[in-house]
Amino acid sequence: MNCEQKYNYGNAHLEDSYLIPVSELESRLDEVPSETAILVYCRSGRRSVTASNILLDAGYCDVYNMEAGFNEWRSGGYPYEE
């Protein structure tokens, strides 16, 4: 992926996922399910670490961070929706 092909959630994302920007996460925790595992991801894996920590601090237990981010996921040939 070159620099011009920037990730945009509206253009590509994991199936059954939804977007909550990390800057809004603390005020939108009521939208995050607490009875299921949560995979947190962003473009590169940096903001998702922050988001994962916010969820863990809020009492969520089954939280997973996609360390390399969505760009690596997509370039690795893993499934996603457009």
What residues form DSSP beta bridges with 13?
81
Residue 79 to residues 5, 14, 25, 58, 82, Cα–Cα distance (Å): 18, 7, 25, 30, 10
Instruction: Look at 26 and 8; give whichever has higher pLDDT.
Output: 26
pLDDT in tens, 27-81: 999 999 999 999 999 988 899 999 999 999 999 999 999 999 999 999 999 999 9
Neighbours of 68 (CB within 10 A): 14
CATH 3.90.1150.10 corresponds to the domain 22-75? no
Rg (the chain; Cα; Å): 13
Q: What is the pLDDT of residue 3?
A: 38
Q: What residue spans define the domains of the chain?
A: 22-75
CA 2 to chain centre: 21
For the cut 60, the answer to whether the pLDDT of residue 4 exceeds it is no
Q: What is the pTM of this model?
A: 0.84
Query: What is the token pair recorded at 45?
Result: 């894996």
